[in-house]
Amino acid sequence: MTARSANHRDPRRTRDAILAAAQDEFATKGLSGARVDAIATRARANKRMIYHYFGSKEGLYLAALERVYEGLRGTERTLDLDHLEPEDAIARLVEFNFDYSRRHPELISLINNENLHRARHLRRSEKIRELHSPLVTLIRDILKRGVAKGVFRAGIDPVHLYITIAAVGYFYLSNNWTLSAIFGRDLGADAACRRRKQHNVDIIHNAIAYRPPVFARRGLRARQARR
């Protein structure tokens, strides 16, 4: 039995193969440059099956977007962060976000592409919003535990914290080639990425750490003096 006929007899396998092929095609060529024929060939699937499962090229693109977010959030859930000490949990989340994005450049490419479309397709997805809701709750709980323990300051918005965690990893990786050229360093090397990952952890920990009032007042006076 050929792979094509095996896929034809297994709808779930066919759908998964199409999505995997679509993810690569859209990540490489974007929505406008991707070709349904190329996706069908790569997936060893009948082109008609793509329209049967996804309705249109844009429907397939949205499903591919959902798939990469599902992969990220699904792997994130295995970290068991609620059983770690608050500082360790935040460090683990920062490290994971960086490592996952580095291992999955298609995630960065698809996010970049969707931003070019101003999230026109992503806004239609209830699934992606539902995937992120438990993450926000988890971070909020970690922050509460950290405040109760006296290691995190109060009043931190979990959404803004996650955006910052994602940003310090995303920018470094999405702009790695240009940054390496500008600064004359191989910022994609393993050693450079390890240093950057630790830098990210330090930055986030410093941003959310509790500071006794005397130090907070000193910092405020210093900022006011510079104005």
The CA distances from residue 27 to 34, 50, 126, 180, in Å, are 9, 18, 22, 22
Q: Are 153 and 147 in contact (CB under 8 A)?
A: yes
CATH number of 66-226: 1.10.357.10
What is the distance in angstroms between the CA of the first residue and the CA of the last residue of the chain? 75
* pLDDT, tens digit, 9 for 90 and up, residues 174-216: 999 999 999 999 999 999 999 999 999 999 999 999 988 765 5
Q: Which two tokens stand for residue 179?
A: 């940054």
* pLDDT, tens digit, 9 for 90 and up, residues 95-145: 999 999 999 999 999 999 999 999 999 999 999 989 888 999 999 999 999
In this structure, CATH architecture of domain 1-55: Orthogonal Bundle (1.10)
Domain(s) of CATH 1.10.357.10: residues in the chain: 66-226
Which residue type occupies 218?
R
Q: In a 3-state reduction of DSSP, which class is residue 126? A: helix
Residue in 156, 141, 159, 135 with CA at minimum distance from that of residue 205: 156
Domain(s) of CATH 1.10.10.60: residues in the chain: 1-55
* pLDDT, tens digit, 9 for 90 and up, residues 40-87: 999 999 899 999 999 999 999 999 999 999 999 999 989 989 999 999
The pTM assigned to this predicted structure is 0.85
